[in-house]
Structure 1
Amino acid sequence: MDEKTISLRDANQQFAEIVRQVESGQTFIVTRRGQPVARIEPVSKKRKLTPAQEAAWKRVRRAMEKGFHLGGKAPSRKDIYGD
């Protein structure tokens, strides 16, 4: 669904209807004096990442898969299970 634009005044007067539409997947851009000031969208809707954000997530995932050496030693069975 495309985004719909609505004025703050109209959004205030029609809020229950807007929420019903949002529950169905609609997204609204709320404007004040013609300028966008807010977005109302379904909670479950995923936002698209920018290319820079996607690249950052890929770096984080690679680092997590590789693991990090924290400088400690692996615990022994005695450390884990006691005597």
Structure 2
Amino acid sequence: MRIIIADDDRLVCDSLKIILGAQGIEVCGVGADGDQAARLYEQERPDVALLDIQMPGRDGLWAAEQILSEDPAARVVFLTTFSDD
């Protein structure tokens, strides 16, 4: 399985690459915002796009809309955290 990851936290991306790689999943691209995610999806055509919802600039929701408008069969998984007081 090939995936792309888009998250503005580099530690999250690096950690996911290690965890997923140990399971035999190839991370074929990493981005830090929605623009990069959409571009990576178009270039790599991965099996899954793993997207953070909140990123600077264009976010994961925007990227998902772009990806799905070009490829309605795309598989998108959202991964996000919110701080809670």
TM-score (norm 2): 0.28
Work out which structure has the larger RCO, using CA pairs closer than 8 Å and 6 or more positions apart in sequence.
Answer: 2
TM-score (norm 1): 0.28
